[in-house]
Structure 1
Amino acid sequence: MPVRAQHRVAAAALATAGLAALGLGAPASAQATEPLDYVALGDSYSAGSGVLPLDPDASLLCARTSKNYPHLLAEATGAELRDVTCGGATTSHFTESQYPGVAPQFDALKSDTDLVTLTIGGNDNNTFIGAILACGSAGVLSLGQGSPCKDAWGDKFTDDIRNKTLPALQKSLKTIRQKSPHAEVAILGYPWIMPKASVSGCYLKMPIAKGDVPYLRDLQTELNSAVEKAAADNGATYVDLNTASEGHDACAPADKRWIEPVLFGTNFVPVHPNAAGEAAMAAEAKKALGVG
């Protein structure tokens, strides 16, 4: 973490611990400790689209919840949050307006910003939406048999990630560093949507043909690897959700899953994190950043 942000977190923690040991209330100087200036960027996985209640400060078109991981992370750290996450965002919406009245997300960045978090890349080139729709439609037509999506699309989605999404991620993280040079930047991977192998009965919730389950899993592996590489190349913290989200995919039982399925789910936006998923993303971000 950059020195300035580290000092703020450490100073607040030491002051609180020392006063607690003495049994004293916080003096004015401790109470006035400046909170971390935190900007949350990103797409629907950062916005928590599909989880209620909606954030009253957000455009309804963004479907942002006040229970997304940025809000939870801000609560845990006492940070001052500017949340500009928005469902459906691509890397282009960092510098362009996504909807009327919704400013480019990078407008929220300042030279003295301390912390930036984001998920991004899943909507670029319709990677998630295109693949889920294509594979779901093919799965329905094949009655869940074979690998019709892989047979039809082959390397199209993974090639787009390598050739288009990765360069866009690299450019975005580089620009964040230029706009907020002192900030700790954390980019989260995407929690697993599909399990390692087809699960009996999952077709009723996620109509993906059995042979296409590993195909989609490999696609998400490629995307998360691109996010990790972009983070490493640009001095950002990569928050790895691969291990933590194993067994919490859309095929998991309702009390275990972090991602809601296409059918019989609870979110009003399917194939997105539920409240438990957003809480888990906040927890993993806290661990990776060493805060909260």
Structure 2
Amino acid sequence: MTRAVTALVATLLAATLLVLFAGCATPADETPVKQAHLGDSFAAGTGVRPLVADSSFLCQRAEGNFGRLVAADRGTDLTDVSCAGATTADLTAAQYEGVGPQLDALDADTDLVTLALGGNDADVFATAVSECARLGRADPEGAPCRAALGNRLFAALDTVTRPALTAGLRAIAERAPHARVMIVGYPWLLPPTDGCFAQVPIAAGDVVYLHRLQQRLNQVVADAAAAAGAVYVDMAQASVGHSACADPQQRWIAPLGGVGSLHPTELGQRTMAESVLARL
């Protein structure tokens, strides 16, 4: 009887130890977090080098974009489909030949989605930058862009971008129902009042106009995130003093001219990644 009890106790102890050791598995034994990185040129890292070797050149997808930096820090299993020029429509439709719908990167096993999106909807970003720069060169002291565009882009943000982005974020949640979805706001392109015409040829009176437009864009992104149950990563406060007008060592946004104009620099992408990591 004593031998039988001793054997039973030994068996139970061994089983208990197996359970305890199984519960203390090292991170190397665990399945990596599955991350998908989606979005537009601010997500892709347009202007930052080097580019991802096996990605479409049209997407201008950088090795140093914020999604990839988050993945490197957390050791996630990353699928990066971010692409320059993407709109919310490109979540569900092919953007270029060989560049399929971004939602194809998601499934029920996706744990984390990082993205920046919305600025290209209704051509808000492209129109604001191209028109304000063109008009500013002809009237640097006035407010020609505000006079020409008026409330048109603000209205587009409310009537086009807001519903499209809300629907897009909800579609992401449906495709990846267990994922934490984190959408990053756009860092300040310009200061709130005084611009820097040599770096960004925007007329003096249009600097406030563009700053207000970007403020509305970020509010639309935040509202869409709230409506869809996503996490909004606010860059507004962090990026004060780091616009395209800042000193080169402090600049998070590249000046106008060349690939990556008015897009996050390498430092800007790092700070976007740090903001996501802080929320995680």
More divergent stretch after superposition (30-39 vs 70-79) = 30-39
Aligned residues: 257
Question: How far off is 1:32 after superposition?
Answer: 1.6
Instruction: Go from structure 1 to structure 2 and tell me whether the alpha carbon gap of 1:241 and 1:262 turns closer, same or farther (over 3 Å shift).
Output: same
The percentage of aligned residue pairs carrying the same residue is: 44
2:204 to 198, 201, 210: 210
Which one of 159, 162, 165 corresponds to residue 166 of structure 1?
A: 162
C-alpha separation in 2, matches of 1:183 and 1:153: 39
- 1:254 and 1:129 map into 2 onto residues whose CA distance is 24
Match status 1:88 vs 2:79: no
The residue that corresponds to 1:17 in the other structure is none
User: Judging changes above 3 Å, is the alpha-carbon distance between structure 1 residues 160 and 255 closer, same or farther for their aligned structure 2 residues?
Assistant: same
Aligned residue number for residue 198 of structure 1: 194
1:30 to partner: Cα distance? 4.0
Which runs of structure 2 are paired with 1:50-65 in the superposition (5 Å)? 50-65=47-62
Cα deviation, 1:78-121, whole Å, max 9, x if unaligned, reads 11100000011011111111111111101111111000011111
TM-score by length of 2: 0.90
1:39 aligns with 2:36: yes
Segments of 4+ in structure 1 off by > 6 A? none
Q: Which residue of structure 1 lines up, in the alignment, with residue 17 of structure 2?
A: none
Q: Report deviation, 1:37.
A: 0.3
Q: TM-score normalised to the size of structure 1?
A: 0.86
AA paired with 2:263?
H
The corresponding residue for 1:282 is 273
User: What is the root-mean-square deviation in Å for CA atoms of aligned residues?
Assistant: 1.2
Per-residue deviation, 1:129: 0.9
Find the counterpart in structure 2 of residue 122 from structure 1: 119
Greater radius of gyration (CA): 2
Q: Which residue of structure 1 aligns with residue 176 of structure 2? A: 180
Cα drift, residue 232 of structure 1: 0.9
* 1:5 matched residue in structure 2: none
The gaps in structure 2 that reach 5 residues or longer are: 1-23
Instruction: Give how far 1:152 is off.
Output: 1.0
**Residue 28 of structure 1: how far off its partner (Å):** 7.1
d(CA) in 1 for partners of 2:27 and 2:85? 40
1:67 and 1:29 map into 2 onto residues whose CA distance is 28
- State the 1:29 CA deviation: 5.3
Give the Cα–Cα distance (whole angstroms) in 2 for the partners of residues 229 and 57 of structure 1: 35
